[in-house]
Each structure stands twice: as C-alpha cells, then as structure tokens.
C-alpha cells in the first residue's frame, strides 16, 4: 500500500490547496480570498490517555474545523495509525468543498485519532472514544459541528460519541450522524457512500452511452464504502472481479458473489481466503485490468510513481484523495478518466444530512424517501459538474472545486466575512 508513500514533496493538505488554486482561477475567486478559504478556521489537538491491561498508553486526537460559511462544520472521525495533522487538514478542507458541491447546508471538518482499532479491544475503543469526544465536546453541537464515521469508526462508535456529548450537554442526537438506528440513526446511512459511488458511476456510464451491466470492477478496501459499492455494482449487473482489504486480496474473473463475500467478511474479518478466488497481493489490486477501479481505502495510493501501472478505463474515487495531482496527470496522459472524490463519495454526507434533518424534525423518513432524495441530489450535482466541465473545458475535478469554491465564496460574502 502506498499511503503516504507518494514521493510527492507536498503534503496531502498542500496537494488539496494546489487543486484549489487551479479552481480559484477558473471560478474567478480573488487571490487574497483564496488564501483565507484554503486555511482551517480552528484546529484542536487533544491527548487521550488510556489505562488498560495494567499499562498506560496515550494517543493523540485532532478535530479540524475548516469552514462554516454555509452551515455547521461537518465531517467524519478516522481511527487509523497514520492519522496526522496535515492529513486531517486535507480531509477537513475536502469536506468544505464536498458539502458545497452537493449543496447541503454544512461546512467542512474532519477528526482523527492516531490509533489502530484492529488491535484494540471493545473496552479500549470505548474508552478512547469517550475521552476524545468529551475533550472536543466544547466545539461540537447540532448547530456547530456534527461528526460522522470514517475509516476505522462505525455506527457503534458514533453512538458512544453521542453519549459522551450528551453527558455534558444533554441528549442531542443531531450532534453526530451515522449513529445506530436505536439512537436516531437513519435508514440507508450505512450503505449510502457505496451506493452513491454507483449512482455516480452509472450516470457517468449513461453519459458515455455505456451501461454498468457486464462492466468489470476492481475495488481496493472492503469496509463500509468498498463493500456497499461492490454490492451496488453487482446489483446493477456489473462483475466485481477483484477486491482486497488490509489483510489480503482476491480475484475471480467470473465475478465474486458479493452478498456471500460480505457475510464471509462478517465472520472472518477479511476477504482473504474466500471460496472460488485466487489471491491478489497488496497493491497489485490497483493494477488489475478492469473498466472501473474504485480505491476505497486510504488516501494517496495512486501517485506519479505507480499511476502508469493502472489498467482501468475509469477510476472512481470512493476514498478521499486516493489519486495525487501527479498521479492524475499520468492517468490523464494515459486516457484514464477520474471521477473525483468530491462527487463520487458524497452519498455518505448527503444521507448524513438527511439523518440530521430527521433528528431535528424528530421524525423518521421512510427508506424510499431517503433513496429518492439521494438519487436526486447526486444526479443533479453530477450533471452540474459535467456541464461546468464542458463549458469551461476543464477536468471534472476542477469543475467540482470551482463550483464549490464559488458557493463558499458567495456565502462568505453574504455573511459579511469577505468584502471583496
């Protein structure tokens, strides 16, 4: 895996800013405004002591609030050993542009704890979650900052987060999204990001006069995003021929049985060793010939060093920032198209928005309504992106950033923050 192995001299945050600079020119945002919009509003770092099994350890956690011109800060919390300040800054910034692009009334934030949930007991995860969310609770709130799950976290952890906040501030389900249904979570939230990936891929195929039926799909990462993307691709008649996770990879050219694989992962914890499949080693997953390659694990896995080996027609960014700017240049030269994270994985935050609305209304929506509204928002946003790219002769990525930047710029002006 090449995470952070990109030999780029830029950090992930600097790479995002490089993309913003390009888009700022297209959107006509003044330079001094760009300098302001790129930087986070507030950054918090907390120590998280953990006394367990007779030993004292300590972890570091971050919450970065990037921009709230359009509404409360919104973004996931990641538990992963590689979490660091620059990465969380990059992810927080991406959330500002993602919520603006799909036009939901939020800003952008991200959090993370540098820890390895794979080697922790449930009690240790509970203790870390409780301490982290207690220590950042003063900057959270349904109208201030609303966390959600990301890599290494899930609905259960969001339930504990809600409880930690509630012990100080009183019961407030709208303070986190991606919660268990029993605590006010939304139907359809768990599968939303993966489903959104396929809604967008399917629209993309349609625009090219193609269909997902029979298309060959390869997915890196089989967690929340990867597994539900696989399931939805399979439902559309595509053949998911290879997937992997941190413990191993598998391939079957006839197409993997995804519901059976999901069940297998639930019981064994990994895709490795699944019936009727051949093993695929580590990063080799990225180089399998296919129509759609979906990186759905860590960031910066396709870089200028390895992009030349990618043999997909289209890369659909299920993960956040999986393709570096250098990697994207190489892919463009090879004619590989990239559907950027800002739109491709925006289904998760969109249904998180529906969950927040339901919590505030204290009224649960039916699954069909969630599904209809999700399709509508994603399809409309994607059409806007494709039209903008056509009109300005720019990449889909530049179109996403430029559209989002204009919206945040206009909202900042309307608030009186920015007078140029």
Q: Which residues of this protein are in contact with ligand NAD, per CB under 6 A? A: 1, 149-152, 193, 220-226, 244-246, 296-299, 318-320, 345, 348
The pair of structure tokens assigned to 360 is 């505030």
For ligand NAD, the nearest residue by Cβ is 223
Min dist CB 234 to ligand NAD, Å, is 17
Q: Sheet with 312-316: list strands edge to edge.
A: 278-280, 248-251, 239-245, 216-220, 290-295, 312-316, 337-339
Min dist CB 253 to ligand NAD, Å, is 20
Min dist CB 42 to ligand NAD, Å, is 21
Judged by beta carbon, residue 14 or residue 283, the one nearer ligand NAD is 283
Judged by beta carbon, residue 23 or residue 323, the one nearer ligand NAD is 323
Q: In whole angstroms, what is the distance from residue 163 CA to residue 176 CA?
A: 10
Which is nearest to 327 in space by CA: 303, 293, 310, 305?
303
Judged by beta carbon, residue 350 or residue 395, the one nearer ligand NAD is 350
Judged by beta carbon, residue 205 or residue 285, the one nearer ligand NAD is 285
Min dist CB 170 to ligand NAD, Å, is 27
DSSP secondary structure letter of residue 209: T
Separation of CA 394 from chain center: 23
Q: In whole angstroms, what is the distance from residue 372 CA to residue 377 CA?
A: 9
The 3-state DSSP composition of the chain as helix, strand, coil percent (nearest 5) reads 50, 20, 30
Given 38, 98, 110, 179, the catalytic residue: 110
Q: In whole angstroms, what is the distance from residue 299 CA to residue 64 CA?
A: 18
Q: In whole angstroms, what is the distance from residue 382 CA to residue 390 CA?
A: 12
Min dist CB 307 to ligand NAD, Å, is 17
Sign of CA dihedral 78, 370, 412, 142: negative
Residue 339 has φ and ψ, to the nearest 5°, of: -95, 115
Assign 413 to helix, strand or coil: helix
∠ at Cα 85 (51, 294), nearest 5°? 100
Measuring CA to CA, how many Å separate 411 from each of 27, 140, 259, 279, 416?
14, 22, 44, 50, 9
Cβ-count burial 274-290 (b if 16+ within 10 Å, e if not):
beebeebeebebbbbeb
Judged by beta carbon, residue 245 or residue 291, the one nearer ligand NAD is 245
Judged by beta carbon, residue 272 or residue 418, the one nearer ligand NAD is 272
Cβ atoms 96, 108 nearer than 8 A: yes
Sign of CA dihedral 186, 187, 190, 196: negative
Min dist CB 95 to ligand NAD, Å, is 9
Min dist CB 187 to ligand NAD, Å, is 15
Residue 312 has φ and ψ, to the nearest 5°, of: -100, 155
Using a 10 angstrom Cβ sphere, with 0-12 exposed, 13-18 middle and 19 or more buried, the burial of residue 348 is buried
Helix axes 347-361, 85-101, angle to 10 degrees: 70
Min dist CB 111 to ligand NAD, Å, is 12
Judged by beta carbon, residue 292 or residue 409, the one nearer ligand NAD is 292
Establish whether 213 is a catalytic residue: no
Strand partners, 43: 64
Judged by beta carbon, residue 299 or residue 326, the one nearer ligand NAD is 299
Q: Which residues are catalytic?
A: 110
């Amino acid at each position: 895996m090449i995470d952070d192995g990109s030999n780029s001299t830029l950090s992930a945050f600097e790479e995002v800013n490089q993309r913003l600079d390009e888009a700022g020119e297209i959107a006509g945002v003044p330079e001094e405004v760009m300098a302001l919009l790129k930087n986070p509003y507030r950054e918090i770092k907390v120590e998280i002591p953990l006394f367990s099994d007779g030993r004292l350890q300590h972890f570091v956690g971050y919450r970065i609030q990037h921009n709230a011109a359009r509404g409360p800060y919104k973004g996931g919390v990641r538990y992963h050993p590689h979490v660091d300040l620059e990465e969380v800054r990059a992810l927080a910034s991406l959330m500002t542009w993602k919520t603006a692009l799909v036009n939901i009334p939020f800003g952008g934030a991200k959090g993370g704890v540098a820890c390895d949930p794979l080697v922790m007991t449930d009690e240790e995860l509970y203790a870390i979650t409780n301490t982290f969310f207690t220590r950042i609770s003063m900057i959270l709130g349904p109208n201030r900052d609303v966390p959600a799950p990301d890599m290494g976290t899930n609905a259960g952890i969001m339930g504990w987060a809600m409880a930690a906040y509630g012990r100080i501030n009183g019961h407030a389900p709208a303070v986190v999204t991606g919660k268990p249904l029993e605590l006010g979570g939304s139907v359809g939230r768990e599968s939303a990001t993966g489903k959104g990936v396929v809604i967008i891929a399917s629209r993309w195929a349609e625009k090219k006069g193609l269909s997902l039926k029979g298309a060959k799909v390869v997915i890196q990462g089989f967690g929340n995003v990867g597994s539900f993307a696989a399931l939805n691709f399979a439902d559309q008649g595509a053949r998911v021929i290879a997937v992997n996770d941190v413990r191993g990879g598998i391939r079957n050219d006839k197409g993997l049985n995804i519901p059976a694989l999901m069940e297998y992962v639930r019981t064994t914890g990994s895709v490795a060793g699944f019936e009727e499949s051949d093993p695929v080693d580590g990063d080799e997953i990225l180089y399998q010939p296919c129509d759609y390659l979906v990186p759905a694990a860590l960031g910066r896995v396709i870089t200028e060093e390895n992009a030349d080996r990618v043999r997909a027609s289209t890369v659909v960014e299920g993960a956040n920032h999986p393709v570096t700017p250098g990697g994207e240049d190489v892919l463009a030269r090879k004619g590989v198209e990239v559907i950027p994270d800002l739109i491709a994985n925006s289904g998760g935050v969109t249904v998180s928005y529906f969950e927040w609305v339901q919590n505030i209304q204290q009224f649960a929506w039916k699954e069909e309504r969630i599904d209809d509204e999700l399709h509508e928002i994603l399809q409309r946003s994607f059409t806007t992106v494709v039209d903008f790219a056509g009109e300005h002769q720019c990449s889909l990525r530049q179109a996403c950033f430029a559209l989002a930047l204009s919206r945040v710029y206009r909202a900042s002006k309307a608030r009186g923050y920015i007078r140029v």
